[in-house]
């Protein structure tokens, strides 16, 4: 998921460079908050406080998956750092 989100962040950056009024910073940040909400819930409810290696369709439990995978958590953390350092986050933070 982290690689997808990082690519989506770049898409938004390119889109905004061509058309600055296409989406507000709040809309972009809200999009990402909505996408990572299930991951936040999984981390909060997991006894290891991590993300599973694999899930089935719709995020359903995969019995053959490792219950926590550093790679999965690390990729999501990389995205969150990149988002925090992006123009979207800094503009939104400046308004708060």
Residue 93 pLDDT level (bands cut at 50, 70, 90):
very low
Which residues make beta-bridge pairs with 55? 61
Q: What is the mean pLDDT of the chain?
A: 86
Question: What percent of the chain is modeled with pLDDT above 90?
Answer: 36
Q: Summarize the confidence of residues 66-85 as an average pLDDT.
A: 90
Contacts of 70 (CB under 8 A, 6+ apart): 50
In angstroms, how far apart are the furthest CA atoms of the chain? 45
| Model pLDDT, residue 16 | 85
Tens-digit pLDDT profile for residues 43-68:
999 898 988 888 888 878 888 888 88
Q: Summarize the confidence of residues 10-32 as an average pLDDT.
A: 88
| Model pLDDT, residue 96 | 42
């Amino acid at each position: 998921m982290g690689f997808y989100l990082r690519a989506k962040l770049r898409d938004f950056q390119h889109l905004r460079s061509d058309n600055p009024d296409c989406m507000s910073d709040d809309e972009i940040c809200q999009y990402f908050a909505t996408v990572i909400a299930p991951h936040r819930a999984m981390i909060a409810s997991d006894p290891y406080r991590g993300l599973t290696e694999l899930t089935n369709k719709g995020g359903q439990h995969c019995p053959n998956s490792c219950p926590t995978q550093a790679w999965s958590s690390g990729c999501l953390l990389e995205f969150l750092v990149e988002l925090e350092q992006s123009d979207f986050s800094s503009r939104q933070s400046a308004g708060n």
